[in-house]
Structure 1
């Protein structure tokens, strides 16, 4: 080969090197750009008899510096970062709401029970009663406003989930399209580096939305999946995700595939991990639902326990107490997939504050039985018998099922999720507050002995038909037999000693007297203490002058410090404090994890950029190197020209 051709090959190679280096410099700040290097090699040498002589140089490839391991590590770190940052942003809102010392629930609870105590101290005062009602209205408003804010956060999450799904679908379509273009432009020795960079950047952005797995496909195409292998892109084909309303809960957005026919195929939330979507789903299904259910548990527990005690009292008009709060009905969502021939209906009402949990439940008919499944741990309780003869109470919720069910009928029951929103007062008249007890006891002044009788209380059995005291019952002590007589003829009598031992005496029999023992019949309890004389009497009758009585009010006020919730292990205040603590702990953990994720992304970025990133100092040195090579190759061409001119002059 001539000297001129050798110089020309060097000139062209240097020109490619200059172009590649210049391209690196100008794209140093381009997102997703991987630096490129012109790979130069010598041309085929020629044998000249005395040996092999070089024929110049050539560019064998423009290499893209890309490390799949480092790129995958960076994508994983960014997916985790996006998930944690999203979760942290969302849970911070809930944490701020619950822990607010002025707008949280604790001050409203305290004010409410302060009002109960003030009314108990002055039961005849209309002002004190009205103040109690006002504090109750404020408490109801606080429950409702907090529930509304949590619902608002949930609506925002649902909106973001839908937006994320739209973005995921857009990236999936673009990746499938660029896969097709790359496949068409790829040769055995070269690939379109700029399109590969663009595709990698799309994968990076997609991975920030949901954690993906990328595998190599045919002809330089990539396959993309998520979760446990659910496909998003297969070669040049993309799969579309979609959102839909839950079959059993109109307020819950579900995720799945949009099929070719337009139908919706639901996927479990557990497959959506990592990325913004994973963080939203995790927050919604765990932290937000837990906060809403737990807040509702307190609301439903307060309403149920307060009502249970309030109906045992007597109001200012002498009437029996009624519900102070309206009863809490659980949300029941029949599945839209239930048989059209089914007429089954399920109703559920909270009846027992102590047994109430913060879990949701699934009620399913298997063709023979209805089974109630506690979703928090999978515990199954059968409705027995079915058809029902009376409502069945499960975890503090009374279930009533009617109609004809079809196999696989399903219902979602949420006893507490909407309870805080549903909480409301049942009375508005201060005189209807039942602060007095419905019974009155007395020991006549004509008694000779020194025995006394306690004021007396009633329990839920008092509300059973026939147990209410409408006339005075007189108990008489017989010294010879040391017994009390005169109890209602149709009611057993239970005597509980100071040691806690109870003895039941059949109706109509005399009851041995025990100093200080508690005597109970028909839901009425009282104690007689001291030494009665023969024929001393004690009376138990209706409370006919209870305007100044506050015995039931004291029991209502005592609910503040009574372990009512969670099987009698926590008060309303401690339960709320536990919610605040749980959410606060999650928020703090999310904040720490988010900070750690940021550091992990920084480290992974540095590692990836050490291979694929553009170093401007290095590129500047390459620019000078290629410039000098270009100039030198030009000099070779100049020398070749001079030699050619000399040969021409010799021939003439």
Structure 2
């Protein structure tokens, strides 16, 4: 009996000692990141049967249990991954918001100052200083465009560098997880299946750090290892086998850094941005695709719009030397086309001329030759797809462009495409960088109109003629198809004197239009606009028979600022975004979109931070070390140790008494 009691005491001391060691371990690691509280799991030893019943044989420590809940762990991973994504997005997009929203650094002041220069010329068309001031303000506007675009390019490079750094961190963490998997398998085997708790905590901490970089999912294996997956289920870690992520130029756009995965088996593939749904990496990719690209495209669209519309009006004017106006701003190509290299096997090349800046969007496009004589065009901003076929590849390209609502550009094909060939089209991306003033000589500013009209001094009626308006200089350019001067004579209710070869359109004040054969005559209508050959005028009042009116060239045009006035009016005319916005309104819309996106991401980031903190608190309530509780455990196990020792002391005394009786 004494021996049995002694063994029971020993088992109690061993259990109490295990409890003290475990409690001390908890206290020592109370501040260790990722540590989960541990506790001993005791059970009774197998009892011994006697005639009086079963006698207990003390206790044993079955295992050291790690406080862990997979559900709470998953909540923390999900919340942290989402927070890291949105916080990274916010940190990046805020830089654009600060830049474009700055009242002094943005485009609005530069646009306003530019049109002040235009208005100065309109007020004094002969003043060379006014003209020079207009050119200076134009150069300042160009510099502001290029400054903003350069900053966007810098951000794009920084994002590419961040993506590369994040991928490096992911690979490092994945490698450490693979090594820990191997150590955990080994420790579990030599420990007869007992869990290596500290190694499990270390691995869980690495998974948490990895999850902050890229959203991961895990799957446990029977041997204690885990498999880690990223993206749409691509395996990153399988037991001790580790795949490698790489940051590399996209095959569809060599200027763009994308993420690819190289598997341990040797295979690999480029992953789309949408494959990642959380963590810092996803935040960087989403910022670039949702905000950075659209902002730079929007800035390019504005540069294209100003260039196209301002040049169009400037070409309708006449400079100080009597020549028709040329392009005020350098004509922009704007578009960038990337063949999918090296996947394309055909010889096809695509050109994308800009046709109407008002119809341009801020989206990029993908063009794919999907089958024989079949093209597919995808607008990436909303994934709108248009597919069309034709008798030839060129006809198919024309058909797919016709199937899509006007996008502001056309497409031409050279060479022969192969099925599967694809192209990335960026219609506006490069325009802000290309934006430039074409005129250097202030005399070349076309402030005057190339024609003028007047009523003959001998007229006896009360009719008057407006200053002529030019809508197309094609027939005025050398050699002129429209020979001036022209004299229009009123007689018996009709106007005559119109040139042959130019049909006449008469538009009444109520908007009703009537077409007349070239050469006229036409019925006189008070206040109607008369247009032919790209010029127009209005005669109002009551003419008398024989009254005449003259249209002639305006070779001097020294004090004429009619075209400069029209150029100045472009500040308020809605010429962009489907003819719904002026220059400043288009920029304000761009700034508004950036601001709205920034605020949306900020609010989401802040709310997600609260969600992540609450998920962490819930997890720590289970796995965290409570020092007060551990102090109480120290006392409890100390008392258990002392009590078990007392049991051993009693057993020893009893055994000595029995020996003494035997000797007596």
Kindly indicate whether residue 219 of structure 2 is the aligned counterpart of residue 244 of structure 1.
no
Paired residues of 1:362 and 1:410 also in contact (CA < 8 A)? yes
Equivalent of 2:472 in 453, 456, 460: 460
Cα distance change, pair 66–9 in 1 and its aligned pair in 2 (3 A): same
Question: Against the structure 1 CA distance between its residues 426 and 261, is the aligned structure 2 distance closer, same or farther, given a 3 Å change threshold?
Answer: farther
CA separation of 1:75 and 1:347: change in aligned 2, threshold 3 A: same
Q: Cα distance 1:624–1:387, how it changes in 2: closer, same or farther (>3 A)?
A: closer
Tell me the alpha carbon deviations over residues 200-253 of structure 1, each in whole angstroms, 9 at most, x when there is no partner: 111111111111112222322222223332222223322222222122322211
**1:412 alignment partner in structure 2:** 424
SS in structure 1 opposite 2:358? coil
Taking the aligned partners of 2:374 and 2:60, their CA distance within structure 1 comes to 81
> 2:489: which partner in 1?
476
**1:443 alignment partner, one of 423, 448, 455:** 455
Question: What residue is the counterpart of 1:193 in the other structure?
Answer: 197
* Alpha-carbon offset, residue 376 of structure 1: 3.0
In structure 1, the residue matched to 2:539 is 528
Instruction: State the Cα deviation string for residues 431-460 of structure 1 (Å, max 9, x = none).
Output: 111111111111111112121111111113
SS of equivalent residue, structure 1 residue 460: coil
**Cα separation, partners in 2 of 1:75 and 1:370, compared to 1, 3 Å:** closer
**Corresponding position of 1:332:** 337
Write the distance in 2 (CA, Å) between the matches of 1:261 and 1:73: 33
Cα contact 1:439–1:469 (8 A) shared by 2: no
Among candidates 379, 399, 403, match of residue 374 of structure 1: 379
Query: Residues of 1 paired with 2:344 and 2:44: CA distance?
Result: 78
Q: Distance in 1 between matches of 2:576 and 2:387?
A: 21
* 1:378-397 deviation per Cα after TM superposition (whole angstroms, max 9, x unaligned): 25386988658x99995322
Task: Check conservation: 1:443, 1:537, Cα contact below 8 A.
Answer: yes
Residue 2 to residue 264, structure 1, CA distance change in 2 (3 Å): closer
Give the aligned partner of residue 549 of structure 2: 538
Greater displacement, 237-246 / 61-70: 237-246
Cα separation, 1, equivalents of 2:82 and 2:419 = 43
Query: Hey, what's the Cα distance between the residues in 2 that align with 1:381 and 1:569?
Result: 29
Distance 1:605 1:578 in 2: 40
TM-score of the two chains, using structure 1 as the length reference: 0.95
Closer, same or farther: CA 468–621 of 1 in aligned 2, 3 Å: farther
**1:501-650 superposed matches below 5 A:** 501-650=512-661
Equivalent residue runs for 1:396-407 within 5 Å: 396-407=408-419
- Unpaired runs of at least 5, structure 2: none
| Alpha-carbon spacing, 1:56–1:262, altered in 2? closer, same or farther (3 Å) | closer
Name the CA distance, whole Å, in 2 between partners of 1:337 and 1:101.
45
Q: Match of 1:540, SS? A: strand
Query: Tell me, what secondary structure is at the counterpart of 2:353?
Result: strand
The correspondence for 2:367, drawn from 363, 366, 374, is: 363
Conserved 8 A contact 1:497-1:517 = yes
Q: Does residue 130 of structure 2 align to residue 122 of structure 1? A: no
| Cα distance in 1, alignment partners of residues 579 and 46 from structure 2 | 91
Contact 2:362 2:428 in 1 (8 A): yes
Q: Is the 8 A contact 1:470 1:542 kept in 2?
A: no
Q: Is the 8 A contact 2:33 2:205 kept in 1?
A: yes
Q: How does 1:479-498 map to 2 (within 5 A)?
A: 480=492, 482-498=493-509
Shift of 1:471: 2.5
Given that 1:327 and 1:350 are in contact with CA atoms closer than 8 Å, whether structure 2 keeps it comes out as no
**CA–CA separation in structure 2 for the residues paired with 1:230 and 1:458:** 63
**Contact preservation (8 Å) 1:18, 1:626:** yes
In structure 1, C-alpha distance between the alignment counterparts of 2:216 and 2:58, rounded to whole Å: 47
**1:535-579 per-position Cα deviation (integer Å, ceiling 9, x unaligned):** 211111211121211111111111110001011111111111111
Deviations 1:499-531 (A, max 9, x none): 101111111331111111001001101111111
Measure how far apart 1:101 and its partner are: 0.5
1:10 maps to 12
Counterpart contact for 1:461–1:467, Cα < 8 Å: no
Q: For 2:601 and 2:520, how far apart are their aligned partners in 1? A: 67
> Residue 497 of structure 2 contacts residue 520 of structure 2 at CA under 8 Å; is this kept in 1?
no
Q: 1:361 to 1:547 in 2, by over 3 A?
A: farther
Equivalent residue runs for 1:240-319 within 5 Å: 240-259=244-263, 264-319=268-323
Cα deviation for residue 189 of structure 1 reads 5.0
Conserved? CA contact 2:320–2:556, under 8 Å: no
Mapped to 2, the partners of 1:487 and 1:381 lie a distance apart of 49
Pick the aligned partner of 2:75 from 73, 76, 88: 73
Which secondary structure state, in structure 2, belongs to the residue aligned with residue 440 of structure 1?
strand
TM-score w.r.t. length of structure 2: 0.93
Give the length in aligned residue pairs.
648
d(CA) in 2 for partners of 1:113, 1:425: 14
34, 38, 41: which is aligned to 2:40?
A: 38
Confirm or deny: 8 A CA contact 1:469 1:542 kept in the other structure: no
Deviation at 1:468, TM superposition (A): 5.5
CA positional deviation for 1:39: 1.3
Structure-2 residue corresponding to 1:175: 177
Identify if the C-alpha distance between structure 1 residues 381 and 645 changes in structure 2 by more than 3 Å, giving closer, same or farther. closer
1:219 and 2:223 are equivalent in the alignment: yes
Q: Where does the alignment leave 5 or more consecutive residues of structure 1 unmatched?
A: none
Query: Which residue of the partner structure matches residue 358 of structure 2?
Result: 354
